[in-house]
Structure 1
């Protein structure tokens, strides 16, 4: 076989060129963190297009790389301050890319009865048409034009090409993905589905019009693996599922919570989106009444247009399900809720807008700050409140050997991930039985952490006699971001009666603070100036680290641990907007928030 270098030299001698072979990025055995988003919609999603999205997937990827793109709304362009490392444009599979084709006279979509309303200038007619389409999807009434195989396969091929076009191994990673939008009775069971590579992919994605049952989605994913395509899913917005996301008795699809159900669920969806634009679903004050930080950025609605709160909190929030999973496993039913954590966006305007002071809303119409605070013209106060209560969106941190599809996909599969509410603070979390009190002071502490224990997402089993697990936690603030307030460990376990319990430990505090004898910790303070939406880093620490050993450990009790890292208070996006507009901040919203990170858990099994 001719050596490529020799061949290249020969080609150059006759005036031709030989394509360079890209070098494989070097792998870091201790991993680096790469920040990105799974949950991104562009104008190719039916609801994004109707609500003013200005760009398709190509624009979305360019935004994540740091380029300026059109923003829609008031015309303000969109540009991220610090580019991301990876990005997945996951437009809705339901009528993927069909609505923008309504404006093309050569497309069959332009002949649709709703085309004039959707592409016209009458906002009421457009919204009514959107409602009709969404009702059809929710009730699984397939539209023969918008759901045609001709449109679906053509657009899906372009989704794949866009992802491949923007993939730069070692520099910027993309994945081919889509959102499966199961929405029974306006209760959220959505999943982002993404593939490791772009070979052996299906002709089109699976739509919730085809099936709205998660077990049938997993069966479809299992079939893709048999066809040679590695695939994973990410469930999200359990807070809007009315208890369906983490079932308490049987699943929406009618499955009993058995070991087979647990194995199938965890094979297909190892991580969960714990925070996004539509709020945070770590926990709820009704489920964790003793958690003083448990009411963070709640968005307490189903997906119905009536702004209706879900009746059921149990089954909709991660912590309760995480601990309940221990009980299911102890009873021989496997653990269907053994999730790692990621944060995400759910933007419907190409740009994740995860930076609190650079937020442009979920939909294109929200690119106008007045509409973010007041809602679009003509909406009810209840609908406007839902928009005001949107968060700025979260970020997924992935500890991977390199910024490539292969390494990031494998890190997600093993759950070495964490979620943040937006800031890119760096967090490490390890558990083991052989860490010493001074482990973090050793020069090779990171290598020893891997060698002697497991990282976030891992499992500990069978504690040695007389030993409790110790956890190494290291957190560093985001560059040019806010200082840190504290590190907490949230522990869930089964007591002697097999009942789920939870405890929160403050394990590292900034500014030399100490907990009182009753466990109370003095607040870190608040430097936010509501007049100009500024804050200072006069309080808090740039980094926090500790080795913590569980003082209440019992070797015969199942347990799960995760770390929560809180920043000092900073201005909320709604305060930035109020200052920008010269108006009073909304009285129904906080002016400051404590952004945070949540690590994937570590589980202990006797």
Structure 2
């Protein structure tokens, strides 16, 4: 039996608006808006539309989802994403999204997939185990202690790890088959897209190395999901993916929460401690083209320690490993994407390839079927949080330090893709070419193009988008060519019923002549006629939030930005990356909505307001 060290955050040894929503007509892209904010059309749009969804969703078929009170099934998740109410469990009410999503994927843990859920059925062999009686006990303390014993035994080779049912391939194959069938059942090409998926949950020493593995469809799909019981090494996951691909499957993996990896996610050595090679870089990028920059367990764009000159770096940071003891990570380097993008350029300069050439998405990591990305409709990561008083003041029986972790959870993010139509093939292709963006949960849209041929007047043309594609490259691409400096086009549109926009920034990274990584943030568009002062400082956009009512006004900010920007410090000899960050005006955080809803005092240990945001995938400049 391979050692399996997996400690879940909340279980183990624990015992327990009212606003103006008018936007400018988007004549350049000619979008007709449907319920989800995406274009509704009968024919594919060659200029592409934005579709929003989540790939990182768990149900009670994940062992930690079940243990933390989830009563949902994969079918429930797909119903929720389309706007239906589903049971929330945890003593709370039903869960229902206000604005349905375009696409969704259930990605339950491959480890013991569905087994804890099956323990509730005493007619099954696994449900008849003495351990099953403990884990399904009505006494929460008994159930949590049973799960703690389970994790300990699997980490140390104890008695529970020797139970053959826990590694029975018949059970694992049957559960995976049902998950795939559920995705196929709810797929409606052109209307609602689903993907078969699972999560590979490697967790060495409680350091997060998890990946969500997504299949385009169920054609030639493997009979079993690959789990960290098979191997805890990412290299072995990629090898399994390569075999699956050779057997006819179409798939990709998406790592997440480098912020909880304590430096392991973007390490410059492999799992055996060897320096990275060009072959390693190519294998990694072939199998995992995207990175999840924002989710319930925080954002992992950057950290103030890594980007001290970034005034917006301190955003929804969740600063823990996955240890139940609420351990703090000590290594920032290797944990955040922006530094990894810089390390990737340095690696490429050294002839080792770029192992971190990631496109960007946002996602959820809900363990209760519902992504809960709407700040004023947040229901927590686990079913035990499906009660606003528990989210604010703590789950009964849970340690204070773990309740703080619950309050520091964000509401989760969304993945945006620019695709020709809402189908598996089109959305998956967009993910593979990295024409994607991530948000912190808002549905603001962002486009990003680069070229050495663009003229500033291009965006004034009615068909600017056609020319942008024809004479440049979109986000997620390499930009090659020559000229004085590349010009970029940025188009950002606020969420239809959401907050106005504060600003658009371009974040540039490069490695200088001395081999030192450099980054710089450029404010390329500001709302309300603001301009930087002589030192480049920009006055804040303001704050209209009324904390007593959890309401804000769109009396500040802009509804849309369409602008060009030319790099004033361009060096044609240096590899560089550029990506866009768009900030909204301040709005209430979920914890503020909860406080007003319940009449409880505002928490002082979490922010009362936040500036939601979106991140584009990068464009990489490469010298000829």
**What TM-score, normalized to structure 1?**
0.94
Confirm or deny: 8 A CA contact 1:47 1:130 kept in the other structure: no
Moved more, 140-149 or 79-88: 140-149
User: What is the 5 A alignment of 1:106-505?
Assistant: 106-135=123-152, 144-248=164-268, 250-464=269-483, 467-505=484-522
Match of residue 7 from structure 1? none
2:166 is paired with a residue whose SS is coil
Task: Please tell me whether the aligned partners of residues 452 and 481 of structure 2 are also in contact (alpha carbons under 8 angstroms).
Answer: no
- Post-superposition shift, 1:376? 1.3
Q: Across the two proteins, how many residue pairs are aligned to each other? A: 580
Structure 2: 5+ residue stretches without partners: 1-40
The alpha carbon displacement at 1:255 in A equals: 4.4
Counterpart-to-counterpart distance in 1, 2:120 and 2:362 = 35
SS in 2 for 1:584: coil
Q: Cα offset for 1:143? A: 5.0
1:39 correspondence with 2:59:
no
Q: Single out whichever of 260-269 and 455-464 deviates more from structure 2.
A: 455-464
Q: Is the 8 A contact 2:582 2:613 kept in 1?
A: yes
Distance 1:346 1:270 in 2: 19
C-alpha distance in 1, partners of 2:351/2:81? 44
Offset of 1:116 from its aligned partner? 1.3
**Following TM superposition, by how much is the alpha carbon of 1:108 offset from its aligned partner in structure 2, in angstroms?**
1.3
Does the CA-based 8 Å contact 2:235-2:271 persist in structure 1? no
| 1:137/1:481 CA distance change after superposition, 3 Å | farther
Change (3 A) 1:526 1:158: same
Counterpart Cα distance in 2 of 1:536 and 1:147: 55
How far 1:144 moved relative to its partner? 2.4
SS at match of 1:438: helix
- Please tell me whether residue 96 in structure 1 is matched to residue 116 in structure 2: no
Query: Is residue 69 of structure 2 the alignment partner of residue 52 of structure 1?
Result: yes
Within 1, Cα distance between the matches of 2:201 and 2:156?
Answer: 12
Matched, 1:588 2:605: yes
1:66-85 equivalence runs, <5 A = 66-85=83-102
The CA deviation at 1:132 is: 2.9
- Partner of residue 20, structure 1: none
Q: Look up the SS of the partner of 2:119 in the other structure.
A: helix
Q: Which residue number corresponds to residue 17 of structure 2?
A: none
In 1, Cα distance between equivalents of 2:562 and 2:339: 27
Equivalent residue for 2:563? 546
Cα separation, 2, equivalents of 1:157 and 1:291: 46
* Cα distance change, pair 182–58 in 1 and its aligned pair in 2 (3 A): same
**1:240/1:316 contact within 8 Å kept:** yes
Change (3 A) 1:64 1:135: farther
Residue 584 of structure 2, aligned match among 554, 557, 567: 567
Aligned CA distance change for structure 1 residues 150 and 499 (closer, same or farther; 3 Å): same
Instruction: Give the 3-state SS of the residue equivalent to 1:103 in structure 2.
Output: coil
* Alpha-carbon distance change, 445 to 142 in structure 1, aligned in 2, over 3 angstroms: farther
Instruction: Please report how far the alpha carbon of residue 378 of structure 1 lies from its aligned counterpart in structure 2 after TM superposition.
Output: 1.3
The change in CA–CA distance for 1:134 and 1:435 in structure 2 (over 3 A counts) is farther
Shift of 1:322: 0.4
Secondary structure, aligned partner of 2:53: strand
Q: Secondary structure at the match of 2:312?
A: coil
Residues 108/258 of structure 1: CA separation in 2 closer, same or farther (3 Å cut): same
Cα distance in 2 for partners of 1:137, 1:498 equals 45
Most deviating of 68-77 and 408-417: 68-77
Name the SS of the counterpart of 1:145 in structure 2: helix
Counterparts of 2:394 and 2:292, CA distance in 1: 26
Task: Determine the structure 1 residue equivalent to 2:35.
Answer: none
58-67 or 142-151: which moved more?
142-151
Q: Deviation at 1:75?
A: 3.1
With a CA cutoff of 8 Å and minimum separation of 6, indicate the structure with the bigger relative contact order. 2
Distance in 1, Cα, partners of 2:292 & 2:331: 19
Higher mean Cα deviation, 324-333 or 142-151? 142-151
Partners in 2 of 1:435 and 1:139 — Cα distance? Answer: 61
Maintained 8 Å contact 2:318/2:409: yes
SS at match of 1:42: coil
Residue matched to 1:17: none
CA distance in 2: counterparts of 1:143 and 1:316, whole angstroms: 36
CA contact (8 A) 1:214 1:253 kept: no
Distance 1:534 1:137, change over 3 A: farther
SS in 1 for 2:164: coil
Q: Is the 8 A contact 1:137 1:208 kept in 2?
A: no
Q: How far does residue 462 in structure 1 lie from its aligned partner after superposition?
A: 3.7
8 A contact 1:112–1:145 mirrored in 2: no
Residues in 2 aligned to 1:62 and 1:94: alpha-carbon distance in whole angstroms? 25
Select the residue among 530, 541, 551 that pairs with 1:534.
551
Deviation at 1:496, TM superposition (A): 1.7
Is the contact between residue 138 and residue 182 of structure 1 (CA under 8 Å) also seen in structure 2?
Answer: no
Shift of 1:449: 0.5
Deviations 1:262-282 (A, max 9, x none): 000000000000010000000
SS in 1 for 2:447: strand
Q: By how many angstroms is 1:484 displaced?
A: 0.1
Write the deviation string for residues 520-575 of structure 1: whole angstroms up to 9, x where unpaired.
00000001111111111010011112100000001001110000000000000001
Deviations 1:190-219 (A, max 9, x none): 000011110111111001111110000000
TM-aligned CA deviation for residue 112 of structure 1: 2.7
SS at match of 2:175: helix
CA shift digits 1:369-404 (9 cap, x unpaired): 111112211111111100000000000000011111
